[in-house]
Amino acid sequence: MKNILITGGAGFIGSHVVRHFVHKYPDYKIVNLDALTYAGNLENLTDLESANNYTLVKVDINDEAAVNAVFDKYDITDVIHLAAESHVDRSITDPLIFLRTNILGTANLLNAAKGKWSDFDKHIFYHVSTDEVYGSLGDTGLFEETTPYDPRSPYSASKASSDHLVRAYHHTYGMQIKITNCSNNYGPYQFPEKLIPLIINNIVLEKKLPVYGDGSNVRDWLYVQDHVEAIDLVFHKGTNGETYNIGGNNEKQNLELVHLLCDTVDAQLGRPTGDAKSRIEFVTDRPGHDKRYAIDASKIKAELGWEPLTDVATGLGKTVEWYLANGEWLNRVTSGDYKKYYEVHYG
Ligand code: NAD
Ligand code: TYD
């Protein structure tokens, strides 16, 4: 019997993970622990409200008493930890909340698990992290699991710290842990502060399309459903104490990606080709902007047989389709606080 605590399950990736586990494993009880910050949205999970193996608890991972109470009340056997402050630009303007949630919050969860679990062999603490902990690549090379950590933004530094804490609980106390470091995710339900949904939203609204610097920075794009399949595999079959890199095998320069998005959205909206591209605007670069991220995912392929199935053209096609069909979702999440954020960040 597994009672799995999934943290951050109302966010982008978390909602896909929760949905996958609730449907695929009806014998597991899934408890979604989420503080419902600006990035957490119950609308991402409305289809699960009637599922009898699913519960949501609105709790901050920093709240020691509340987290302990959840472990007790639901007899939590395993954790899949996704809750985090996740946006690099926000970490540049407000670093402290990143340290609180991503470092102290993770420590608080680890401590609650340590207090609750008597036989670590029977329990798993799975930590979802980012490739950004490895720093920035030049034109060549790939991040491997053994690449030394070199985080360069407050966000990546906070995620690196949390990875170290998870490993410390493994080495010091013997907790069974698994860590994955993945590349940039995209797909339905992503909050439109991140590049892909922000550009889609701006194209729809016929606004300028902000590209940082000269648009030559490279990211490796991972379709969220491919990531979810990898999480399922690592959770069930990954080796205790190990780290696995997860990548999309889809490296693109930002400008190239934005061009692809422009063509995809124009085509799906029936607008003339070139319409969206004419609104691309090169804006002031992000401070400390990491040049290139790229993943060597050969370990997870060799050990667990996982590889990404979605190429970026197919994934973007599905993503654009979802955003165009869910304009109401987009309108709701871009009202209120989003407007203020956009005004401050993009002027
Ligand atoms: P997101 O910002 O969309 O969602 C984060 C979720 O965590 C939200 O539901 C939010 O309400 C919740 N949360 C934030 N602070 C909390 C707190 N103090 N207590 C409880 N809940 C809190 O993030 P995402 O893009 O879905 O990322 C999920 C995880 O994956 C994060 O750990 C992130 O670092 C990691 N990751 C994301 C990407 C990516 O491309 N999105 C890539 C690599 C790793
Ligand atoms: P983002 O989606 O914020 O992810 P991350 O910073 O974690 O990689 O950004 C992806 C890339 O797109 C990154 O190189 C920064 C760039 N970018 C823009 O050019 N314009 C934008 O408005 C945003 C949000 C990002």
For 31-61, the pLDDT digits (tens) are 999 999 999 999 999 999 899 999 999 999 9
- Residue 63's domain is classified under what CATH number? 3.40.50.720
Pairing of strands 251-253, 218-223: antiparallel
User: Does residue 345's CB lie within 6 angstroms of at least one atom of ligand 2?
Assistant: no
User: Does residue 198's CB lie within 6 angstroms of at least one atom of ligand 2?
Assistant: yes
Would the CA dihedral through 103, 105, 109, 115 be positive or negative? Answer: positive
The whole-angstrom distance between residue 259's C-alpha and the CA centroid of its chain comes to 23
Is residue 155 flagged as an active site residue? yes
261 within a domain of the structure (yes/no): no
φ, ψ of residue 301 in degrees (nearest 5): -70, -50
- What parts of the chain have a pLDDT lower than 70? none
Domain count, the chain: 1
The atom number, within ligand 2, closest to the CA of 211 reads 19
pTM metric for this prediction: 0.98
> 5, 7, 12, 182: which to mutate for ligand 1, most atoms within 8 A of CB?
12
Half-sphere exposure of 145 (CA within 13 A, CB side): 13
pLDDT score at 334: 92
- Nearest Cα residue to 228 out of 186, 198, 196: 186
pLDDT score at 220: 98
- Closest C-alpha to ligand 1, atom 43: 130
346 within a domain of the structure (yes/no): no
- Closest C-alpha to ligand 1, atom 19: 60
User: Does residue 82's CB lie within 6 angstroms of at least one atom of ligand 1?
Assistant: yes
pLDDT score at 337: 87
22 within a domain of the structure (yes/no): yes
pLDDT score at 67: 98
> Which listed ligand is nearest to 341 at the C-alpha?
2
pLDDT score at 252: 98
Q: How far apart are the C-alpha atoms of 3 and 179, rounded to whole Å?
A: 19
Q: How far apart are the C-alpha atoms of 10 and 248, rounded to whole Å?
A: 23
Q: Which residues contact 158 (CB under 8 A, 6 or more apart)?
A: 84, 85, 91, 95, 98, 99, 101, 102, 103
Q: How far apart are the C-alpha atoms of 111 and 106, rounded to whole Å?
A: 9
- Closest C-alpha to ligand 2, atom 5: 88
Is residue 149 flagged as an active site residue? no
Structural domain harbouring 113:
3-190+221-251+291-312
122 within a domain of the structure (yes/no): yes
CA distances from residue 268 to 98, 202, 203, 309 in whole angstroms, order as listed: 37, 15, 12, 23
Alpha helices in the chain (DSSP H): 12-24, 64-73, 88-93, 95-98, 106-116, 154-173, 195-204, 224-237, 254-269, 298-304, 312-325, 327-333, 337-346
150-175 per-position pLDDT tens digit: 999 999 999 999 999 999 999 999 99
320 within a domain of the structure (yes/no): no
Q: How far apart are the C-alpha atoms of 321 and 203, rounded to whole Å?
A: 13
- Closest C-alpha to ligand 2, atom 9: 195
User: Does residue 346's CB lie within 6 angstroms of at least one atom of ligand 2?
Assistant: no
> 86, 132, 221: which to mutate for ligand 1, most atoms within 8 A of CB?
86
270 within a domain of the structure (yes/no): no
280 within a domain of the structure (yes/no): no
